[in-house]
Structure 1
Amino acid sequence: MAARLSSDKVTFRNADPFPYIVIDDFLENESAELLLKEFGQPPSDGGSWNQYTHFNERKAGLTRMDAMGKVTRGVIDELSSPEFIGWLGDLSGIEGLMPDPDLDGGGLHEIKAGGFLNIHTDFLSHTERPHWRRQLNLLLYLNKGWQRDWNGDLELWGEGMKSQAASIEPLFNRCVIFHTTEKSFHGHPVPVDCPKNDSRKSLALYYFSDAGVPLKLKPTYYRAKPDESFSKHALVAFDRWLVRAYSFLKRYTPLNDSIVSKFLRKK
């Protein structure tokens, strides 16, 4: 990666609709294969994945490092190392980047048939570390043999949600890195239509900077597409309010994703 940093910087910083880059064959193939193999194993602590199930989202996530396999922990450690953080800083031009030891909203993500993630901008301040401002997303896809008609493309939308600017297939060992702002609308709103024994798999890591002062809570902000119905716009907005209330509770009370996920599994 270091050898092509100069051209990658230009690609990232000049990308439309916001700074991003797609890097294929991101990990050494053997590491990517081992990461995928571990993905299908149950959490090592005997627990379960968190279930994110509401109007704007249907997916599962694992954020607990101690529940992940050895290879997965090793990859996350490598992508959190000073050397890699330095490379991210050179790529993006953002100074003072830090990895997230809490994997707040990150970690392993899995979306099975029928799952989706509506278009949104991400939460911009860390839930548990209010001084931390989110700066970059890194998404590493782990989908071997993925078919285009299974849906699941990552859509990038321009400012104001007026038009879709890019569509990125979630192919195996493909990495997408982008600058996280209140204008970086993205998601995959079309429900995944893969076989029942398959799923859309990814590793998501987020990088922050220290603002030095407590930041206002800015939770995930969902939007409906321009051509969708009035009722869809209304339901997206209502769920957006619920997400904001939940984010507030996560910051100021003991409530967390694991607790809520246990409740959802009992339903």
Structure 2
Amino acid sequence: MKFINLSVEELHALAKSKHQEYESANPFPNIYFDNFFNPERLSEILDEFPDMSKRPDLKFEDTNQIKLASKGEYRFGEETREFMHFLNSQPFLEFLSILTGIDALIPDPYFEGGGCHQIMPGGLLKIHADFNKNKLTNLDRRLNVLVYLNKDWNEEWGGHFELWDTEMKHSVKKILPLFNRMAIFTTTDFSYHGHPDALKCPQDRNRKSLALYYYTNGRPSYEINAGLENHSTLFKARPYQDKSRISVKEIVKQITPPILYNAAKKITR
């Protein structure tokens, strides 16, 4: 296969050998692989990564996140589009199902919320549980795959992908977003994760990744937070950190209806 140096049979065997490690991981099922993909092909994808910094329509900025994200596949370069289609293909879906034990995974060809993600210096994504339904298909979100594209990344710059315990007491696992590292984890209403600290990389660097989400028709009841059967992203505050960092202005913005907040901003200008 073009993007990996494994046959389908070898891909299945790898998934079987890692299934127990995935299933028993803390704080919820997860794993990451280094050098999983052909590095030359992944370098080509990095070379054509879209510059989203000048696109305000691709920017997400509020008290919980400062990031850039593509919408759909039309901004993908040729190599990126082919790669993303491979990650939605039968061989890779079979690999994911064998690895995770989640049968009949369905990809998202619309890349709703997925695609190219970019965090600039100072950016972040606070700890959260993901939206649980695809708004276009109404399928249940079950699995995330993140492919990192950051060469020569310095650990002092941060950007770790963090996995937190269900009670939001502490970070259980931190994954540095290194080039050709792929993180995979099960998404439930209690799988809290994110990149919560502001990125400290130089101004000429940024954190790049590709995100793909996978779905099923229905999900186990133990993955559902009763009363929140259909929800958007659920952000969670870290103890002694995020709460203290919220400014008075941010608190006012959160509790004030948008129409009143925007009107007040115009008056005070």
Fold shared by both chains (TM-score > 0.5): yes
TM-score, scaled relative to structure 1: 0.82
Find the partner of 2:37 among 9, 12, 27: 27
8 Å contact kept, 2:23–2:100: yes
Report the counterpart of residue 263 of structure 1 in structure 2: none
Find the partner of 1:76 among 45, 59, 84: 84
Output aligned runs, 1:140-219, within 5 Å.
140-211=147-218, 216-219=229-232
Report the counterpart of residue 99 of structure 1 in structure 2: 107
Task: Give distance in 1, aligned partners of 2:105 and 2:96.
Answer: 8
The structural deviation recorded for 1:160 is 1.3
Q: 2:213 aligns to what SS in structure 1?
A: strand
Q: Given residue 169 of structure 1, which amino acid in structure 2 is its aligned partner?
A: L
Q: 2:177 aligns to what SS in structure 1?
A: coil
Residues 220 and 29 (structure 1), Cα distance of their counterparts in 2 relative to 1, 3 Å cut: same
Q: 2:152 aligns to what SS in structure 1?
A: coil
How many residues align? The count is 239
Q: 2:167 aligns to what SS in structure 1?
A: helix
- Flag the structure with larger Rg: 2
8 Å contact kept, 1:136–1:206: yes
TM-score, scaled relative to structure 2: 0.81
The structural deviation recorded for 1:49 is 6.0
Q: 1:208 aligns to what SS in structure 2?
A: strand
In structure 1, list runs of 5 or more residues that go unmatched: 247-267
Q: 2:241 aligns to what SS in structure 1?
A: coil
**What is the identity percentage for the equivalent residue pairs of Structure 1 and Structure 2?**
36
8 Å contact kept, 1:223–1:237: no
Q: 2:18 aligns to what SS in structure 1?
A: helix
Do structure 1's residue 224 and structure 2's residue 234 form an aligned pair?
no
Q: Given residue 60 of structure 1, which amino acid in structure 2 is its aligned partner?
A: L
After superposing the two structures, state which structure 1 stretch, 225-234 or 101-110, moved more: 225-234
- For the aligned residues, what is the CA RMSD? 2.8
Q: 2:239 aligns to what SS in structure 1?
A: coil
Q: Given residue 56 of structure 1, which amino acid in structure 2 is its aligned partner?
A: N
8 Å contact kept, 1:121–1:221: yes
In structure 2, list runs of 5 or more residues that go unmatched: 1-10, 220-227, 259-269
8 Å contact kept, 1:140–1:203: yes
Task: Give distance in 1, aligned partners of 2:85 and 2:102.
Answer: 20
Residues 164 and 37 (structure 1), Cα distance of their counterparts in 2 relative to 1, 3 Å cut: same
Task: Give distance in 2, aligned partners of 1:159 and 1:229.
Answer: 17
Q: Given residue 177 of structure 1, which amino acid in structure 2 is its aligned partner?
A: I
Residues 48 and 231 (structure 1), Cα distance of their counterparts in 2 relative to 1, 3 Å cut: closer
